[in-house]
Amino acid sequence: MFDLERRWIRRVQQDGHEESANKLVNKFYKEIFSYTYKQVFDQQLALDLTQEIFIRALKSISHFDGHKASFRTWLYQIASHHCTDYFRSKAFLVRKYTDFVEDIELEGEDVVMQQFMQREQLKQIKQVLATFEEQEQQIMLGKLLEDMTFLEIAEKLQIPLSTVKTKYYKSVKKLKLELEVNAR
């Protein structure tokens, strides 16, 4: 399958072959949408971001070098950076504030405060994770947000199972330490 994928990539890089581009998008769409959805927890927003991710990937596919990383890994990097850009954007901040105000109107204050604190904790975890290496981020997000097994993560990232476990436990310690430092 990798030979077919390489052929599609090469055809898109050389002459913008539309059919090959569509095949690449179709192959990875569900996976990237799932990843994006687990970042933003909003189906419509995830659909929009996923579309933007593929547009971004296809525009910059000429920079893809299959010797440095697999196409899947490269695509996940684009998705990760795009989600990070979104969380830093003005649109996210406006939406976050609007959602919070609407929650106050719809629910009791205690429930809203509890939800707000959970969101803030999740935001803080994501901020700390953003400082980790890309592979560590993918392992942590795969395990914590996507509820993937170590074996599934190893297959997805195409790395040994032992490496996934080692990096996961190392990252958990690192995350815990960073969160404790930030809490002070």
Structural domain boundaries in the chain: 1-88, 131-184
Query: Is the backbone of residue 182 left (phi > 0), alpha (psi -120 to 50) or beta?
Result: alpha
Give the position of tokens 């914590």: 144
CATH of 131-184, picked from 1.10.10, 1.10.8, 1.20.120, 1.20.1070, is 1.10.10
Token couple for 32: 């990237």
pLDDT digit string, tens, across residues 27-66: 999 999 999 988 888 889 899 999 999 999 999 999 898 8
- What is the number of residues in the chain? 184
Single pTM value for the model: 0.54
Give the position of tokens 């769409």: 29
pLDDT of residue 94: 55
Mark the ranges of the chain whose per-residue pLDDT is less than 70.
Answer: 1, 90-119, 182-184
Closest-CA residue to 115 (of 100, 130, 129) = 100
pLDDT of residue 173: 87
> Architecture of domain 1-88 in CATH?
Orthogonal Bundle (1.10)
CA distances from 45 to 58, 83, 91 (A): 20, 11, 11
CA Rg value for the chain: 18
Distance CA 73, CA 50 (A): 15
